[in-house]
């Protein structure tokens, strides 16, 4: 199971999804204030939560479910068609997460920019980690397809 390269790709994709817990998504500078957008919410520089802004999507839960689904894909190595379907399902969840991260970032910028002050944003590592998850999932799917074709060609030879 661990000797297959799709297992490594799926494990890396799951680690990328879980790594978003530990790094900020974006940092916003407004006049003399600094705000940090984590997957759990928007916080000031000293760590207090901004109660006016609540996230419409619980990114920490969604990314944890995504990581668990990718880990579950590893254990479907005996049923490659099911494994491919599950990996493709994670594509949709990852793409939706990326889209909602972008939308939430724009909403936070608009919120912080209200009142005449401009908010300058700096994207953190967690803004780009879901893209890495998507890339590693794609590589895993290609490796699973290659395994499936190899098994089918071996069955034809028998």
Q: What is the tally of structural domains in the chain?
A: 1
How far, rounded to the nearest angstrom, does the alpha carbon of residue 147 sit from its chain's CA centroid?
Answer: 26
Give the pLDDT confidence of 50-103 residue by residue, as tens digits.
888 777 778 989 999 999 999 999 998 888 889 999 999 998 999 999 999 999
Domain boundaries, position 23 = 5-157
Helix axis angle, 5-19 relative to 129-157, nearest 10°?
160
Is 3 exposed, middle or buried (CB count within 10 Å of its CB: 0-12, 13-18, 19+)? exposed
State the Cα–Cα distance between residues 24 and 14, nearest whole angstrom: 18
Give the pLDDT confidence of 32-62 residue by residue, as tens digits.
889 999 998 899 989 888 888 777 778 989 9
The stretch 1-20 carries a mean pLDDT of: 87
Do the Cβ atoms of 131 and 8 come closer than 8 Å?
A: no
Measuring CA to CA, how many Å separate 90 from each of 51, 97, 141, 143? 31, 10, 11, 16
**Cα pseudo-dihedral 141, 147, 152, 153, rounded to 10:** 130
pLDDT for the residue 2: 55
For residue 55, what is the domain's CATH number?
Answer: 1.20.140
HEC sequence for 124-139 = CHHHCHHHHHHHHHHH
pLDDT for the residue 111: 87
pLDDT for the residue 103: 92
Measuring CA to CA, how many Å separate 51 from each of 2, 14, 55, 61, 142? 45, 30, 10, 19, 44
pTM for this structure? 0.87
State the Cα–Cα distance between residues 61 and 55, nearest whole angstrom: 12
pLDDT for the residue 113: 83
């Amino acid at each position: 199971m661990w000797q297959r390269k799709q297992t490594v790709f799926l494990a890396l994709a799951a680690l990328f999804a879980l790594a978003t817990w530990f790094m900020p998504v974006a940092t916003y500078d407004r006049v003399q204030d600094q705000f940090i957008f984590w997957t759990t919410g928007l916080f000031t520089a000293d760590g207090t939560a901004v109660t006016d802004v609540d996230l419409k999507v619980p990114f920490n839960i969604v990314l944890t479910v995504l990581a668990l689904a990718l880990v579950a894909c590893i254990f479907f190595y005996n049923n490659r068609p099911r494994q491919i379907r599950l990996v493709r399902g994670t594509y949709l969840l990852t793409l939706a997460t990326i889209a909602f991260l972008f939308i939430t970032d724009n909403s936070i910028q608009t919120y912080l920019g209200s009142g005449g002050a401009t908010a300058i944003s700096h994207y953190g590592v967690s803004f780009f980690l879901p893209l890495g998850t998507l890339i590693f999932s794609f590589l895993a799917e290609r490796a699973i397809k290659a395994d499936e074709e190899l098994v089918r060609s071996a069955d034809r030879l028998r």
